[in-house]
Structure 1
Amino acid sequence: MSRRCAIDTCQQPSRVLCYCCNENLCLEHLSTHKNSKSFLEQVKSFNEEVQKFDAEQFIERDRKKLNKWREESLKKIQRYYENKCEELEQFYERKIHEQRKEVEALQRRVIYYNQHEYSTTIAELKQKFSSIQQNGIPIHLRSLTIDPNCIAIGEFKREDFDLNELSLPYERLNTPKTTTFSMTSSEKYFLIDQNSDLVLVDQDSRIVEQIPWQFGSIRDMCWSFALTSFILITEINKTYLLKEKTLSITCIEPMANQLWILCTCSNSLLYLVSLNHAIVEFCLLPRLISNRRWDQPDTCQKFEIIKDISSSDDLLALIITSKKTQMVHFILRSLATFDQLFSIQLDIVNHRSYQLSMRCCLLKKNQWLICDANTSRLFHIGKDGKVKGTFKYEQEPFHLAVFDSKILAIRTENTVDFHHL
């Protein structure tokens, strides 16, 4: 008599005996049984693989990364310490030099005038010098604090950016005085205009290249992903291409003898703002060609000025000021249609006879960050067109750029400050 299938819910007669598990199965459940057996074998094999896994070799490999980070951090601390030692020496030299000059001047005056008139002066000088001899100069030290998030073990889940919690600069690069404050970022570097030089700075805030620049003052610059190059527009009506890999500089001849004031790139498209506030779209590949053009009043009203332009893959951001009211608006447009998606009035009213720089850059999730040197403030704009936060910066911020959604560079009159986002 035929036996029933070993599966409890099955009423079919068995047709096959599995010699591995000694169970009688019907034809229908034979296939499922084979698959189950195969799956169990895979689990068993994977379990053996996990048991044999030697974590020590991976720990050793990744510990080398931590060791490298430690060495680089110690070098930064050493450089900071050496700079402060030099600053300390210069301070004492300056103080002693001032004391000597005051004493020499006092000696000359005492020769020609009544020395009793200067008894109070000499007493004050002695008191100052005695204070330096006894106490030195006050040095205010703060314990070095390390951001616990500067090293993330495992998957790093970045929270939404909160401008109110902007970190202190973790690095500061001194720059010469300039009138343009131009800078931008690629996927690897920040490019910073330093008058007679262009400087490439990596994500560790180290200068990796210093490129001589002799083609006139730079009005603006942007990064082209399609060309893997930086595009620079100058005040001498010329536009240049700086190749990131070779650092070669070439003039873009089809765009020569045209005066542009602002630029931004999106995919393989370049957007330039002319002196009369027209916006021209250029296709970069396979060759440079003018594509579309928008003039006033489509770009802005006759009494308005475009202060900055920035873009994402499909959006164009504009900062526009009114010469009538001195009010400032941040406007977002669609790149596909040039339709206005929203316009928001910023809490900026300029009371000067001229306006300082206002710049914007893209954050992640189609959010935007604006810096205004007139009020020394930063503005965080959400993708819904609302101000998510404002921040009073310690110096006038003339420009800003973001690297890999992780590092924010803010350019002031004499420095570029690097912040973790």
Structure 2
Amino acid sequence: MFHTCEISTCDSPTLITCICCKKSLCREYFVEHDYLLRPKLNDLTKQINKIFDQFESLDMKTIMSDSLKKLDEWRLDAYQVIDKFYENKCTELNYYINNILNKYEKDINDLQLKIEKMIYVQQTTNHNIELLTKNIQTLQQQIDQIKYISIQVDIRPLVIIDKLIYVNIVTDLSKLSTPYQTIQRIPLSSNAMASNNQYLLIHQNSKLYLIDENLFIIRQNHWFYDRIQDMCWSKILNCFFIITLHDIYQIEINTLLVKQINTTEKNFWQSCTCFGYISLFIK
């Protein structure tokens, strides 16, 4: 069946159908049509080439740097937790052994004092000699048994579940994930907060609260001082720091005990942070 060109002013027979616009065109208008489309294709080529160059210039190390930094910090914190746990268990083991040794040391000292006293006063009896001899023999047997003491240490493997660290790729920054937990805040409370690897310190209704990852209150203490400007955590001192407009306070994590730090002069403080394991910076 004969078809004419879809250009309204043309009666020539159709030669080809454009794959872009799906129009059936004669040879003359197809050449013209193709000529008009080529600049658009050239523009698209430039755009895709620009995107490709941009893609090629992407540095994955830069993209992952913040995430890798968090993982490295978590690893260092985990090492510290393990080292601290190990030190506590070593201290506990030394405590038990020292208690045993201290007992025998006391028994030895007591017998030495008794013998020295008898020698000094130059007065004793066969009964006393026999009793001392028996006590020394008993003590000798106990001392001989020390090296056979069995120290039982039951150690369970350290299990790290995969869900301990959750990796999620966020491509749409306009969408936020569903809140894991929420906590009601009072408007008059300070907006400052600080955290270590376990707890979050916040100010709420004239009190300091230490809360865990589930937003459960671990401990609390009254705050009787000026409005809090900022707070931060110190790894090396294992405590929080809080600054008000003129003063600096140290917060003990186990009790939330507040201790004011004396300064030589009054300044106007705005913010604070702890750098690494050494310094406290305030401004």
TM-score range, shorter chain: 0.3 to 0.5
- Greater Rg by CA: 2
Structure with more of its chain in strand, by fraction: 1
- The structure where helix makes up a greater share of residues is 2
Length-normalised TM-score, structure 1: 0.30
Q: TM-score, normalised by structure 2?
A: 0.41
Larger RCO (alpha carbons 8 Å, 6+ apart): 1
